[in-house]
Amino acid sequence: MAWLPLESNSEVMTKFLHKMGVPKKWSIIDVYSFDSDLLAIIPRPILAVVLLYPDPSKVEKAEKEKEEVKDNKSDAPESIYHMKQCISNACGTIALLHSVANNLDVIQLEDGFLKTFLDKTKGLSFAERGEYLENAQEIIDTHMESAQEGQTEAPTEDMEVYHHFVAFVHKDGSLYELDGRKLFPINHGPTTPETLLDDATRVCKEFMERDPTEVRFTVVALAASE
């Protein structure tokens, strides 16, 4: 099963979240630079950071080694919402779902299909959540509609895509990377709601440093609307 990929476009992603019941007080904001002065002007609070990176093979090798060292054990709290990516090209929507689902103490979701989906999958396993998404028709329809709205022409569903989305969230004092292709959340060390953006962009820089010649990275944040 494959979806059309979602473009890393803050306007498209914001509309997508609002259609799914995220209140208009929250938006996806572009992170244009990691300069501290420019990071400081992004509206607060910031709830999640989403990175889109290319050619995951190089990054995955480093991450696989990190996972093997951990011997398939995770220190992630049970309260963290993490779902498996069972659908090709669904990583953009899954990163946004991870961003919202781990901030429901702050985001007051409107009644609707996303709230219902998260309620029904709250007690499911990593794999079961991913399988449930395969049949969540209203989320699928909203994703497909949003995937057609980007500035670049949408590729076909069967076209190989060389980019991947991951989300970074704060949970219980730690910064977690949530990736539907990894068995468990990756802990990147301590953070707080106030330092989430600085700490997440530090990790994004590490992704970029693994391939210094590559420029096709984008970073956005789920934050208060301006």
Provide the b/e sequence for 146-172 (b: ≥16 CB within 10 Å): bbeebeeebeeeeeeeebbbbbbbbbe
- What stretch of H or E contains 67? helix 56-69
User: Cα separation of 128 and 133, whole Å?
Assistant: 9
Residue 191: how many CB atoms within 10 A of its CB? 22
Cβ within 8 Å of residue 201, ≥6 positions away: 31, 34, 39, 49, 219
Contact 149, 137 (CB under 8 A): no
Q: In degrees to the nearest 10, what's the CA dihedral of 97, 204, 74, 172? A: -70
Q: Catalytic residue positions? A: 91, 164
